[in-house]
């Protein structure tokens, strides 16, 4: 396994293959913009064979015992941990994130797979006491079938691990449509499952034109559930397609994370943790804090501490020693952020960026503070999905809550306060699927991970995520 990205293939019916017509897409190094490899581009024939293989794989996987499925998932997680450094180098190269962050992501993904494998062993049927003495009411939880999982490029491995883990743990087969921008590291994750002995077709891997693949898979009768992580507009489109087919969905969509920093907050801790959470993965994180609502008593002090943290970031190629922030994933993201910041500037925002120059190749974008925002700015409505922090002030906590809840998004929200009661009150009041007080530890596999409002529905953590891949059925029997 080398650092260079070779041609990434499709996994169809347990076989690694090129596309039927040999077509490929280019893969670029976001730190330089240079081509570093290619990825197979699935044709309709490839999709047809993938679904046929998944139907066979589903029968094989569901008929294993929960224990045997766990053993294979556990082995895949162990292989992923063993290979974390090598796969991390591939991920850093194709996605841009610092190597250390890539390795952390891969180890976290191993934990997710292990958790769902274990949770699958506890997926119990139930006996519900009957009203008549000779009736037995059995509630069965059975895997929903073949799942189509669509995942983005920001966490090329962990986004797949959450979907794959929950679906496989429940006994489903999964067709993964992984991101074309960052294809090689997902393929290495899937290889761990193959090497761990998963039956052919229980996991498949496709790349190509996202809309072509999603339209084909969502409409196909063999596919019984859809799971998507990405932007809200695409999520709504896919949920509508799935609704037309009466298929359940899990949607993990965009966010516009508010963070309320109260006047009694520990400002050193807040500046340290918020800068880590904001600039991790160059801000390309659905749960990143975005709107910083600062109590006016502490706003100047917090901003100074936050700027100092930003100035200490080392921006560069993810594989270079000591780098703490890499480039954005592609040119499209640089253009999108440039437009949003320019719109804010024209509408009167004050901008602050650190003095250190950026590398002059690739898709870099500087950490940016947007001060004095007004509601007419696009940034106050649209998810930036990059290293941009919008900073505003409040004096009345209820006004801060109102601003936090203003947008249709509701994914993650944060609070910094030293008052436990304030933390609990805001935990209830903020309209977000996840609220964290004084820290950012919301990603562990055993707790819910998901949003409300336009940020989607369903959860990708905890036992609920597994249950979302089952059908609950009743068998009620009367015996003499
Ligand atoms: P995009 O909306 O074009 O694509 C987002 C993701 O959806 C990509 O992985 C893409 O392959 C996939 N996609 C797009 N159209 C699809 C379709 N018809 N069927 C199936 N999959 C489809 O945006 P982008 O430029 O790649 O990313 C920018 C935006 O995406 C960000 O602003 C952010 O809101 C969102 N995003 C969110 C997450 C997340 O973790 N929630 C991750 C990545 C991107």
113-153 residue pLDDT tens: 999 999 999 999 999 999 999 999 999 999 999 999 999 99
The predicted pLDDT at position 3 comes to: 55
- Enumerate residues 6+ apart whose C-beta is below 8 A from 410: 255, 431, 432, 433, 451, 452, 453, 454, 455
Residue 298, domain member (yes or no) = yes
Same structural domain for residues 459 and 349?
A: no
Q: Is 252 a catalytic residue?
A: yes
Give the number of domains in the chain: 2
The candidate with the shortest Cα–Cα distance to 292, out of 354, 380, 231, is 380
Q: Are residues 363 and 338 in the same domain?
A: yes
Say whether both 291 and 307 belong to one domain. Answer: yes
Burial of 349 per CB tally in 10 Å (0-12, 13-18, 19+): buried
CA-angle at 93, arms to 92 and 96, nearest 5°: 60
Are 244 and 213 within one domain? yes
Domain span at 142 = 6-253+451-473
Q: Are residues 266 and 249 in the same domain?
A: no
**Does residue 97 lie within any of the structural domains?**
yes
Burial label for 15, CB within 10 Å (0-12, 13-18, 19+), is middle
Write out residues with Cβ below 6 Å of ligand 1.
150, 152-154, 179, 210-211, 214, 229-231, 234, 238, 252-254, 286, 332, 383, 385
Stretches in the chain below the pLDDT threshold 70: 1-5
My answer on whether 194 and 267 are in the same domain is no
Query: Has residue 479 been placed in a domain?
Result: no
- Phi and psi at residue 34, to the nearest 5°: -80, 150
Does residue 301 lie within any of the structural domains? yes
Decide if 401 contacts 430 (C-beta within 8 A): yes
Question: How many residues make up the chain in this entry?
Answer: 480
CATH number of the domain at 16, please: 3.40.605.10
pLDDT reported for residue 361: 97
- Whether 286 is a known active-site residue: answer yes
Pocket probe for ligand 1: among 153, 160, 179, 231, the residue whose CB has the most ligand atoms within 8 Å is 231
Query: What is the per-residue pLDDT for 2?
Result: 46
Give the containing element (helix H, strand E) for 186.
helix 184-195
Distance CA 58, CA 225 (A): 13
Q: What is the pLDDT of residue 6?
A: 74
In this prediction, residue 4 carries a pLDDT of 63
Residues 432 and 336 in one domain: yes
429, 401 in Cβ contact below 8 A? yes
- The pLDDT of residue 480: 83
pLDDT score, position 1: 41
244 with 357, same domain: the answer is no
- Residue 262 main-chain phi, psi, to 5 deg: -80, 165
The CA 152 to ligand 1 mean position distance, Å, reads: 6
Are both 17 and 77 inside the same structural domain? Answer: yes
Q: Are residues 167 and 305 in the same domain?
A: no
Is residue 480 in some structural domain? no
The residue whose C-alpha atom lies closest to atom 36 belonging to ligand 1 is 230
For residue 165, being part of any structural domain is answered with: yes
- List the residue whose alpha carbon is closest to atom 35 of ligand 1: 231
Only one residue has tokens 């597994």, namely 466
- Cα(446) to ligand 1 centroid in Å equals 26
Residue 108 lies inside a defined structural domain of this protein: yes
**Is residue 248 domain-shared with residue 262, that is, in the same domain?**
no
pTM: 0.97
CATH number of the domain bearing residue 418: 3.40.309.10
CB 409 within 8 Å of CB 287 = no
The predicted structure's pLDDT at residue 161: 98
**C-alpha span between 287 and 282 (Å, rounded):** 13
In a domain, 14, yes or no: yes
End-to-end CA distance of the chain: give it in Å, rounded. Answer: 64
In terms of Cβ atoms closer than 10 Å to its own Cβ (0-12, 13-18, 19+), residue 403 is middle
Count the Cβ atoms, other than its own, within 10 Å of residue 363.
23
Catalytic residue among 252, 383, 393, 431: 252
Six-digit token string for 189: 């994750």
Same domain, 291 and 182: no
Which residue, among 381, 282, 291, 278, has the nearest Cα to 330 in the 3D structure? 282
CA distances from 180 to 94, 118, 269, 334, 479 (A): 10, 31, 38, 18, 56
């Amino acid at each position: 396994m080398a650092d260079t990205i070779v041609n990434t293939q499709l996994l169809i019916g347990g076989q690694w293959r090129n596309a039927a017509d040999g077509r490929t897409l280019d893969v670029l190094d976001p730190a330089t913009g240079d081509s570093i490899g290619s990825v197979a581009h699935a044709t309709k024939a490839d999709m047809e064979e993938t679904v046929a293989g998944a139907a066979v794989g589903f029968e094989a996987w569901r008929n294993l015992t929960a224990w045997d499925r766990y053993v294979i998932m556990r082995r895949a997680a162990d292989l992923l941990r063993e290979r974390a450094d090598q796969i991390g180098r591939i991920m850093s190269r194709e996605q841009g994130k610092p190597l250390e962050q890539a390795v952390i992501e891969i180890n976290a993904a191993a934990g997710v797979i292990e958790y769902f494998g274990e949770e699958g062993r506890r997926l119990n049927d139930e006996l519900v006491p009957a009203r008549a003495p000779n009736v037995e009411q059995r509630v069965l939880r059975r895997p929903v079938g073949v799942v189509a999982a669509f995942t983005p490029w920001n966490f090329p491995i962990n986004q797949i691990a959450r979907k794959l883990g929950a679906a496989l743990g429940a006994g489903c087969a999964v067709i993964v449509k992984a991101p074309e921008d960052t294809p090689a590291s997902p393929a290495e994750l899937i290889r761990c499952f193959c090497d761990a002995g998963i039956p052919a077709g229980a996991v498949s891997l496709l790349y190509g034109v996202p809309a072509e693949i999603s339209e084909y898979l969502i409409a196909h009768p063999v596919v019984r559930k859809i799971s998507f992580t990405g932007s809200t507009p695409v999520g709504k489109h896919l949920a509508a397609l799935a609704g037309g087919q009466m298929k359940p969905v899990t949607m993990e969509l965009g966010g516009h994370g508010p963070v309320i920093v109260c006047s009694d907050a520990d400002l050193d801790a807040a500046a340290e943790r918020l800068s880590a959470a904001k600039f991790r993965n160059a801000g390309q994180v659905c749960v990143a804090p975005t709107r910083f609502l600062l109590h006016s008593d502490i706003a100047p002090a917090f901003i100074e501490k936050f700027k100092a943290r930003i100035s200490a970031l080392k921006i560069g190629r993810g594989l270079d020693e000591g780098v703490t922030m890499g480039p954005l994933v592609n040119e499209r993201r640089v253009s999108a952020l440039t437009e949003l910041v320019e719109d804010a500037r024209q509408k009167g925002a004050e901008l602050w960026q650190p003095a250190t120059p950026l590398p002059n190749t690739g898709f870099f974008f500087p950490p940016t503070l947007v001060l004095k925002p007004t509601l007419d700015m696009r940034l106050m409505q649209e998810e930036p999905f990059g290293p941009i922090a919008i900073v505003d002030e409040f004096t009345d906590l209820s006004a801060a809550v109102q601003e936090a809840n203003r947008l249709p998004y509701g994914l993650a929200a944060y609070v910094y306060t030293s008052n436990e009661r304030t933390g609990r009150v805001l935990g209830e009041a903020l309209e977000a699927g996840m609220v964290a007080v004084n820290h950012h530890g919301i990603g562990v596999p055993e707790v819910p991970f998901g949003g409300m409002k336009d940020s989607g529905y369903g959860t990708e953590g905890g036992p609920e995520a597994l249950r979302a891949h089952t059908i609950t059925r009743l068998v009620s029997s009367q015996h003499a």
